[in-house]
Amino acid sequence: MNLPLNKSFEPFAKISSLRLRPRKPDPIEIEKQELLKNFTKTGEELDHVMAQFNNATEQFLIDMYAYEIKALEQKHSYYLSRMRKLEGDYSQAK
């Protein structure tokens, strides 16, 4: 094989000049990560408020913590159902 040196490596020169583009983040994966982060944060807030509720002695504080617990439970439940729905949609799309 007597090809000139510059001709034999021409295809490789073209390949090496290509630049790889960074992958675009998957919007579903980004949303799943955000939901998981918010779900975890809400769980931690719920634990903190429950501890405050258990230590409260005044009726006003007991009522306030009860409402806050209910709101955080609803928020926690929303994040959980949203993650389950997203996971179901994602697995069906594959």
User: For 24-74, how does the pLDDT look when each residue is reduced to its tens digit (9 = 90+)?
Assistant: 888 888 999 999 999 999 999 999 999 999 999 999 999 999 999 999 999
State the pLDDT at residue 9.
56
- Residue of 39, 63, 37, 69 lying closest to 51 (CA atoms): 69
Query: In the chain, where do the E strands start and end?
Result: none
State the pLDDT at residue 5.
55
CATH of domain 25-93: 1.20.58
Mean pLDDT confidence for 11-26: 67
- Residue of 70, 92, 84, 78 lying closest to 38 (CA atoms): 78
Write out the H or E segment, with its range, that includes residue 24.
none
Q: Is 81 helix (H, G, I), strand (E, B) or coil?
A: helix
Mean pLDDT confidence for 5-29: 66
State the pLDDT at residue 11.
57
Tokens representing residue 47 in the block: 């634990």
